[in-house]
Amino acid sequence: MTEFELIARLTPHLPLTDAVIQGAGDDCAVLAAPAPGQELLLKTDAIVEGIHFLPETDPERIGRKALARCLSDIAAMGGTPTAALVTLALPAAPQVERIEGIYRGLRRLAEAHGVAVVGGETTTNPGRLLISVTLLGTVPAGRAVLRQGSRVGDAIFVSGELGGSIHGHHLDFEPRLAEGRWLAETGCVHAMIDVSDGVAGDLPHLLGAGSATLGAELLKSAIPIRRAAREAARAGDTAKPPVVAALTDGEDFELLFTVAARDAVPVLDGWKARFPGVALSCIGRVVDRPGLWLRGEDGLRPMIGKGYEHFR
Amino acid sequence: MTEFELIARLTPHLPLTDAVIQGAGDDCAVLAAPAPGQELLLKTDAIVEGIHFLPETDPERIGRKALARCLSDIAAMGGTPTAALVTLALPAAPQVERIEGIYRGLRRLAEAHGVAVVGGETTTNPGRLLISVTLLGTVPAGRAVLRQGSRVGDAIFVSGELGGSIHGHHLDFEPRLAEGRWLAETGCVHAMIDVSDGVAGDLPHLLGAGSATLGAELLKSAIPIRRAAREAARAGDTAKPPVVAALTDGEDFELLFTVAARDAVPVLDGWKARFPGVALSCIGRVVDRPGLWLRGEDGLRPMIGKGYEHFR
């Protein structure tokens, strides 16, 4: 089967929407402009065999993850995803069933979120499978929630639970799209990011990376620890205590954001009413002392450890 | 140097435009909606070390090529590129100077065409460098030139020269953006594609791939052969006669399009007046007999050979 035959076999099954004027199969996709009053969001993200998934990982979960990571970034802006492109770099001769599985997982998640898949590319990458997804989205003009904007005294919130993602969550997480949009609509959120490198790695982005003035004080007992992180610690699978895993493990894909202290309770109440099945935790506050600080039984200590970083 | 430090070193130098509301450094880029009456174009394309460039290829030319390939696709729709995302999948420890060279080449070409670089990603790809570029563009509503639309009797045109691209053209080609826009504005073009897999590989896309009715008859003496293809044949570097190289070699990145026979001379005259430095050749016509046919001294023969195809 050639590249063209494989693509021909996959493209008739790609999800489309009313915005798609020309989908896969031409030099470019052609899409309707967004509705008046909307701006565009654009994101790309790649996952690589051996790093973000394993050769034996279920292909549907691989495809799902490739798209879900980009969806999580659109969520962190308070946006709505509209159309995706998929690049598959394949290790050798085409692995037809594996590729079809990847597309199946990707397609299902795309359909669930009203995302059209409008093309992409298939190329060779001897050695390992790589999937790169580009996602286009929209956000009401002037309402995208950026990483910059936190102020001293802000409450710091995180959705869901943290840590131990490697035990399954990194493949099956639900991008917090409805939650992100709702948060943006409240108008209360000062800054937001999706946690992909651990709270310890990503929180500094909300404090102005490298800022000489802002820091964060987290309350150890308030950190929402995922069950898998506790179980891994209990089983001796990791040397990290659960709270350290929760703060430093990668691929949580939860929303981390700051709001003014006076808005903390209304946001928490509103969230609970709107998203009863998704935890929201106030884990600390923005302080005027640089660095990340953790308050536990033994007082206030500087946080050690970083989020997951490539090349480390 | 960590991933973040490397990105921090590169992103302040990325070209921006008035349409960029938030560039690299947030979860997504935020872009202004296109002007009223415009539709969006979206394209992604990847180049891989050992396939599209070599380990010893000048990094600036690698970066240039990665973007130029996408620009060529926007050109083939008659569109205008606006913003790009760049994904670098790096073989091992960061190769700082190489990566800076890649960005330099990419940036220069982006600036030359008014394209903002609004983000992307850096990940690891043990074994080889892979660069994936996503390009957003615009086209006047309803005016994108698609691959479908050729009719029996249409004249077939190709810009520039063909064949022997491997000897340098594949790194240094000029995407035919002004030419593609001009062609779209004439309103004469029935169908257009950029030639990346050879005329023999890509022309069938303009005839409705797999169509049972349309074919093309090309005139051997009209095929514009690149000097490098002639020289390679003369030097014995290839077993392909020059005209076969011209029709089957990959990566020409020229515009291949069809117009009604009555529009052929006006289009040719208009092109010569507007683009005196770029060749335009009428190489044949669309016929109602399926297949590709080449008319030479020895009469009409079916064309043998295909364009470059992965997995072959």
Q: CB–CB of B117/B14 below 8 Å?
A: yes
Q: What percentage of chain A has pLDDT greater than the value 70?
A: 94
- What pLDDT does residue B1 have? 66
User: What CATH number was assigned to the domain covering residues B155-302?
Assistant: 3.90.650.10
pLDDT at A138: 98
User: Is the pTM of the predicted complex or chain greater than 0.90?
Assistant: yes
Q: Which of A36, A42, A192 is opposite residue B29, by nearest beta carbon? A: A42
Say what the pLDDT of residue B61 is: 98
Cross-strand partners of B124 = B90
Residues 6+ apart with CB under 8 A from B55: B49
Residues sharing a CB contact under 8 Å with residue B70, sequence separation 6 or more, in sequence order = B43, B44, B45, B81, B84, B133, B134, B135
Share the mean pLDDT of chain A: 92
Q: Measured between CB atoms, which of B4, B85, B141 is closest to A309?
A: B4
Are residues A63 and A101 in contact, defined by beta-carbon separation less than 8 angstroms?
yes
Do the Cβ atoms of B132 and A44 come within 8 Å?
A: yes
The enclosing H or E element of B108 equals helix B96-112
CA distances from B28 to A30, A69, A79, A115 (A): 21, 12, 10, 16
Between CA B285 and CA A193 the distance in angstroms is 55
Q: For residue range A72-93, what is the model confidence (pLDDT) as tens digits?
A: 999 999 999 999 999 998 887 6
Flag whether residue B4 sits within 8 Å of chain A, measured between CB atoms. yes
pLDDT of residue A189: 98
Q: What is the pLDDT of residue A93?
A: 66
Average pLDDT over residues B6-31: 89
CB A169 within 8 A of CB A231: no
Decide if A306 touches B, using CB distance below 8 A.
no
Distance (Å, rounded) from C-alpha B106 to C-alpha B115?
10
Give tens-digit pLDDT for B35-83.
999 999 999 999 999 999 999 999 999 999 999 999 999 999 999 999 9
Q: 């698609």: which residue's tokens?
A: B146
Mean pLDDT of chain B: 92
B136 compared with B122, residue with greater pLDDT: B136
Q: What is the predicted pLDDT for the residue at B8?
A: 74
Percent of chain B residues topping a pLDDT of 90 = 80
Per residue in B81-99, pLDDT tens?
999 999 998 887 667 888 8
A27 lies within 8 A of chain B by CB: yes
pLDDT, residue A182, reads: 98
Q: What is the mean pLDDT of residues B168-188?
A: 97
Task: Decide: A255 and A183 in contact? Cβ < 8 Å.
Answer: yes
Give the mutation candidate from A7, A14, A40 for the B interface (greatest B CB count, under 10 A): A40
Task: Flag whether residue A213 sits within 8 Å of chain B, measured between CB atoms.
Answer: no
Please give the pLDDT value at position B10: 82
Instruction: State the Cα angle at A133 between A182 and A10, rounded to 5°.
Output: 115
What residues does each domain of chain A span? 3-140, 155-302
* Residues of chain A found within 8 Å of residue B251, distances taken between Cβ atoms: none
Residue of B4, B3, B46, B17 lying closest to B196 (CA atoms): B46
Q: Per residue in B205-221, pLDDT tens?
A: 999 866 668 999 999 99
Identify the pLDDT of residue B2.
67
User: How much is the average pLDDT of A209-222?
Assistant: 86
Q: What is the C-alpha to C-alpha distance for residues B22 and A312, in angstroms, rounded to an integer?
A: 28
Residues in chain A within 8 Å Cβ distance of B200: none
A contacts of B147 (beta carbons < 8 Å): 25-27
> What is the distance between the alpha carbons of residues B70 and B311, in angstroms, rounded to a whole number?
22
Q: What is the tens place of the pLDDT at every residue in A137-187? A: 999 999 999 999 999 999 999 999 999 999 999 999 999 999 999 999 999
Q: Is A228 on the interface with B (CB under 8 A)?
A: no
Q: What is the pLDDT of residues B144-162, one digit of tens each?
A: 999 999 999 999 999 999 9
* Residue-level pLDDT at B126: 81
pLDDT tier at A18, thresholds 50, 70, 90: very high
Nearest CB among B130, B136, B193 relative to A27 is that of B193
pLDDT category of residue A310 using cuts at 50, 70 and 90: very low
* Cα B143 from chain centre: 19
Give domain B3-140's CATH architecture.
Answer: 2-Layer Sandwich (3.30)
Residue-level pLDDT at B5: 76
pLDDT in tens, B223-260: 999 999 999 999 988 888 999 999 999 999 999 999 99
Above 70 in pLDDT, residue A101?
Answer: yes
**From CA A156, how far away is CA A212, in angstroms rounded?**
19
Selecting from B36, B77, B310 the residue whose C-beta is nearest the C-beta of A123 gives: B310
User: Per-residue pLDDT averaged across B161-184, rounded?
Assistant: 97
pLDDT at A70 over 90: yes
Spatial CA neighbour of A184 closest among A78, A278, A268: A78
Q: Give the CA dihedral A159, A160, A164, A165, nearest 10 degrees.
A: -80
Which of B42, B51, B80 to substitute to test the interface with A, most A CBs within 10 Å? B42
Site of tokens 């495809």: A63
Could you tell me what percent of chain A has a pLDDT over 90? 80
DSSP chain A: --HHHHHHHHGGGS---TTEEE-TTSSSEEEPPPPTTEEEEEEEEEEEBTTTB-TTS-HHHHHHHHHHHHHHHHHTTT-EEEEEEEEEEESSS--HHHHHHHHHHHHHHHHHTT-EEEEEEEEE-TTS-EEEEEEEEEEETT----S----TT-EEEEES-BS-GGGTHHHHPPP-HHHHHHHHHHT-EEEEEEESS-HHHHHHHHT-TT-SS-EEEEEGGG--B-HHHHHHHHTTS-SS-HHHHHHH-S---EEEEEE-GGGHHHHHHHHHHH-TTS-EEEEEEEESSSEEEEEETTEEEE-------TT-
